[in-house]
Amino acid sequence: MLPNQHGSLEWDTYAFAFGHRLVTVRKARGLSQEQLAERCGLHRNAVSNLERAASNGASGIADPLMSTIYRLAEALRVPPIYLMPGASDRLEGRAVEQETNAALSDVEAELLQLLAAENEHSTNGDA
């Protein structure tokens, strides 16, 4: 990554956290990369790159546009904040969920719990 490209943020940690969140929600929704790509108008390779935090740009790290995040969230039927690490907190230099495997697992469990609660809410006709 270019040193000052993202200020003091260790952007790669946020990109990897975003990718992990995207994979978690996509799989919880029972979608393949191809199906998600179709739903939001992206190429499957773009979804794969975001999930792996990879880019063909100079930094080599994915940096999705806001419109891409919203298209993914719409296709996955989740609020955009589910995909965005640190979006509800004051930002640190690194994505906190990337500090340890336990922190990453906690975020994954929280996302799956939120998705299950949404499913139950809509199944009960409260949607």
Over the stretch 5-26, which tens digit does the pLDDT of each residue have?
566 689 999 999 999 999 999 9
Q: Write out the two tokens for 66.
A: 């806001």
Phi and psi at residue 61, to the nearest 5°: -110, 135
pLDDT value of residue 127: 46
**Residue 97 in this model has a pLDDT that exceeds 80:** yes
Beta bridge partners of 72: none
11-123, superfamily in CATH?
A: lambda repressor-like DNA-binding domains (1.10.260.40)
Mean pLDDT of all residues belonging to the chain = 89
Rounded to a whole number of angstroms, the distance between the first and last alpha carbons of the chain is 43
